[in-house]
Chains A and B, each alone.
Chain A
């Protein structure tokens, strides 16, 4: 195992390369999910405000 991790003396180059690859791709994959949830939350808040306004004055002025 330690022989494998040593990468023939190139561990300091091989493993950081793989780390960068995975960190960048994981961040890339997770970003849109966070964005999507935020958008839906904001939309729900907007809808809630809308329906509250309608309850206060049932005949909208607009």
Chain B
């Protein structure tokens, strides 16, 4: 390992230490996610006014857009962890990459379903082969491909390396999803929230949306840590620290 990496980070990569670290952080992340999520839903469903064109149907935005952001964000994390796993062969990076895939797939699925439920009253159709919708569907298939490839190998670490490679190749789809509304003439509306420059949305609607984004990020941490913990136990089941946990849990 290169010596510019701080010692604490190096230690955190060790499975028993990360297991404990994730165990303490997880309830806080979930609690904060639930708190922020509740606040965002109150702001979005109750306080925010109805849209002048879309009426109350636009309220799907408060879960649709954060889910869509997460579907791209988690793919980025998965691809980055895959890269680290392939280059430095760090076990924890492999686990993070492979356990991010189901969460990303869940958010992508939610994005597609909520989008469909929003599209029916607004566009008059559940589905159309438009650039944004199709590239998001490809994203779901990429996630499913990573999950499938990972489980197709007898040896888990070999499977993780093959799936990590697919995850890295699939990253080209992320900018395609993001810019599809600008590059092609699509039925899907353009971005309302912009990082650079003012957003095209009133503050009453913007704050619940951004709060929900934070909540889904924290939820991702909580869910990922739970998954990583379960995976570390399986990968290291022969080790002493896992044995101690198994015995300690029996006494309870």
Interface residues of A (CB under 8 A from B): 4, 7-10, 13-14, 16-18, 20-21, 24-25, 27-29, 31-33, 35-36, 39-40, 43-44, 47
Residues on B with beta carbons closer than 8 Å to the beta carbon of A8: 50, 55-57
Residues on B with beta carbons closer than 8 Å to the beta carbon of A31: 102, 227
A21 touches B67 (CB 8 A): yes
A27 CB to closest chain B CB (Å) equals 8
A25 vs B120: C-alpha distance when bound (angstroms)? 23
B106 touches A39 (CB 8 A): no
The interface residues of chain A, by DSSP majority, are classed as helix
Among the listed A14, A29, A40, which residue makes an inter-chain contact with B226, where contact means beta carbons less than 8 Å apart? Answer: A29
Does B219 reach chain A (CB closer than 8 Å)?
yes
Residues on A with beta carbons closer than 8 Å to the beta carbon of B150: none
A13 touches B109 (CB 8 A): no
Query: Taking A9-B55, A14-B56, A43-B246 as contacts, is the C-beta distance between A29 and B110 under 8 angstroms?
Result: no
B56 touches A36 (CB 8 A): no
Residues on B with beta carbons closer than 8 Å to the beta carbon of A32: 99, 223, 226-227, 229-230
**Can you show 8 pairs from A to B with CB atoms below 8 A apart?**
A13-B60, A17-B113, A25-B106, A35-B234, A36-B233, A40-B245, A43-B242, A47-B246
Does B247 reach chain A (CB closer than 8 Å)?
yes
Does B155 reach chain A (CB closer than 8 Å)?
no
Residues on A with beta carbons closer than 8 Å to the beta carbon of B227: 31-32
A24 touches B246 (CB 8 A): no
Does B161 reach chain A (CB closer than 8 Å)?
no
CB within 8 Å of A: which of B42-90? Answer: 45-46, 50, 55-57, 59-60, 63-64, 67
Residues on A with beta carbons closer than 8 Å to the beta carbon of B226: 29, 32-33, 36
Residues on A with beta carbons closer than 8 Å to the beta carbon of B67: 21
B118 touches A4 (CB 8 A): no
Interface residues of B (CB under 8 A from A): 30, 45-46, 50, 55-57, 59-60, 63-64, 67, 99, 102-103, 106, 109-110, 113-114, 117-118, 120-121, 219, 222-223, 226-227, 229-230, 233-234, 237, 242-243, 245-247, 249-250
A18 CB to closest chain B CB (Å) equals 6
Residues on B with beta carbons closer than 8 Å to the beta carbon of A18: 63
A62 vs B102: C-alpha distance when bound (angstroms)? 41
A36 CB to closest chain B CB (Å) equals 4
Known: A17-B60, A43-B233. 7 other contacts (CB 8 A): A16-B117, A17-B113, A17-B117, A27-B106, A29-B219, A36-B229, A40-B245
B234 touches A29 (CB 8 A): no
B102 touches A28 (CB 8 A): yes
A2 CB to closest chain B CB (Å) equals 14
Query: Taking A13-B117, A20-B110 as contacts, is the C-beta distance between A39 and B237 under 8 angstroms?
Result: yes
A32 vs B109: C-alpha distance when bound (angstroms)? 19
Residue of B64, B222, B227, B229 most packed against chain A (CB within 10 A): B227
